[in-house]
Structure 1
């Protein structure tokens, strides 16, 4: 697990023995962060495990008996006991609701397609938890994310994980330079998740075979609309399905049940060509549909840009980069034209389908490895 470093530095990049290097590990209760904590403990680091209680499934879903959050905390604690390092649980429910869940609900109601995992990293894990790590006199904070931190000519750089199938760079674009200086990602160089599980088995961890989480943590069954209705009663008001000219084609059961690019489930029959959701208008409660070519987008307006380049974003009129509009799609060639240090217009050399406000647009160096930051798509 140790990284290749000069002899004067330990595996986390500090010029002192591991036993004198305190590292706070953000422990979710899953196999990835557990392996990070166990590996660092085995190397002799002064490890402190911290788990955030971010939500209560019972409250989020308004049902009894949901215990996933409690199970994760229990699993993290068992790992700490197995490896012999201290473990703390911090109650961040109010912070998480205000910084992540409320915005998720409001964005969804506004017809956007939010990505709450990015906001959680940005506003909770890499902000509040990172500050807690500093308060504990830690030298750094480590996480189980699959991404790499490398030292470049101008300091710490963010790079994609070795395993492209596990790469989480899309969800970490808003990591600032100051945060990157303090963070460590020990799993980013591994070739596969199988290696991680093998390490968990080697350390004798009780979570070695624990399944990966597939859903947004506070939406465990993937039913966004059900959670929105609980958080924002009355959000599922019905309305019209219309074409681009405003002609009513049918009725829908609430804008929150639809996403840009959706084709199935519209309930409109008897048409020669398939129709897709091309726009959501919460103000008029309209779902606008049209042919597939209406989904193609070439110009993407961005705001809240986090730039990780070696020189300021505005130091050039344009940047040739590669961008990801969705985490599951490969990077595509694009040009960034800065409007301010935090705003820009991105031109995609090949149009993308289904681009929606609320999604992230993440920048990559044309070599395909280094992450140059990104921004949030808005309506422009």
Structure 2
């Protein structure tokens, strides 16, 4: 096959490309230039898409002896990922930009261009497994390394996209991948992984949001407002922008007055139209009903209701649930309450290790055991 290997400049994508070469594929490496104004160097594990990363990707391609190109998708990335991130926070939701990037950039813009150029598949360094299902379709499964499993952020991929994807690292442990990279002479063998948002290189997401949202022309959203006790309605403090908070947050609330019983407060809800941030005890975070929309199925949409596992965060636990699907409406009943579930997050649905699909959380309801 003709395979386009996405080289980020990190160890995982380099080894994935190397394995594609070993498998006998005709491999071409590409590096995606996603930053409008890339910095020269990374700061440890923060950020990506720097000039250093581009150089590391090129050096890896040289070691592997494959052609290498840089594709500038910075404008598409800014529109589809960065602006979406800003819009979601301005609306009081908590988005996951890695899912949007996989959905709209790596397996939409890149894959579409690759197929147009005559390539058969795109290979990435994601930790996930692909298997052929009983119906002949391609199934997406959790990786062998549970600590590195990235099937959650790939839960937005559809069957046509999975049919043209390769994840060569799915059966491997991360420690083995680093050893393999060193044995192949790849200089990125010990390079730190990227953890923070690639477009917020200093890790200060609240500051980054404040700078951009307060300067958006014509933005009707009122960002500053009150911090309110959810039970009593008492105003406990004020804030500079609701986008600086997320459901489940405990630290950095800026409330000087302690509770009567000394227990910490958590963000329970965000109302961006009024600028109100509602806080309360940990129990107020418990939910057992989730309404989600914009579903994306890895195969056929599940008929009716199904017993499934649902993951609500990239590295969160899997929750047992009953999922009911009616058209584009997805209702999730958690068999045990979960905490800190925010609108905008993605709910990825599993049948065992297989990804069924994903949907974007629109609203939640508190567990009956808490609210009565």
Q: Common fold, TM-score beyond 0.5? A: yes
Q: Secondary structure at the match of 2:163?
A: helix
TM-score (norm 2): 0.89
CA contact (8 A) 1:262 1:276 kept: yes
Retained in 2: the 8 A contact 1:57–1:68? Answer: no
Q: Structure 1's 71 and 56: CA in aligned 2 closer, same or farther, altered over 3 A?
A: farther
Pair 49,58 (structure 1): closer, same or farther in 2 beyond 3 Å: closer
- Structure 2 gaps of 5+ residues are 40-46, 217-221, 365-372
Q: 1:270 aligns with which of 258, 269, 281?
A: 258
Q: Does 1:362 align with 2:348?
A: yes
Instruction: Kindly state the Cα deviation for residue 323 of structure 1 after the two structures are TM-superposed.
Output: 0.4
CA–CA distance in structure 1, aligned partners of residues 49 and 295 of structure 2: 34
**1:166-203 Cα deviation digits (max 9, x unpaired):** 0001101010000011111110001x111111111121
2:101 and 2:325 map into 1 onto residues whose CA distance is: 26
2:317 alignment counterpart: 330
RMSD: 1.8
Deviations 1:266-295 (A, max 9, x none): 223232232211011111111111122211
Matches within 5 A, 1:69-148: 69-148=50-129
8 Å contact kept, 1:38–1:79 = no
How many Å separate the matches in 2 of 1:58 and 1:43? 34
Partner residue of 2:293? 303
Partner in structure 2 of residue 178 of structure 1: 160
Counterpart of 1:189 in structure 2 is 171
Counterpart position of 2:205: 224
**CA 343–145 in structure 1, closer or farther in 2 if over 3 Å, else same:** same
Distance 1:151 1:91, change over 3 A: same
Deviations 1:320-379 (A, max 9, x none): 101011122221110111121x221101001111110110001011xx311111100013
How many residue pairs are counted as aligned between the two chains? 347
Residue 7 (structure 1) aligns with: none
Contact kept in structure 2, 1:57 and 1:67, CA below 8 Å: no
Shift of 1:253: 2.6
1:36-74 CA-partner distances (Å, limit 9, x unpaired): 112222444211011111114569xxxxxx995111111
**Secondary structure of 1:377's aligned partner:** strand
Structure 1-normalised TM-score? 0.87
2: distance between equivalents of 1:67 and 1:143? 15
Partner of 1:153: 134
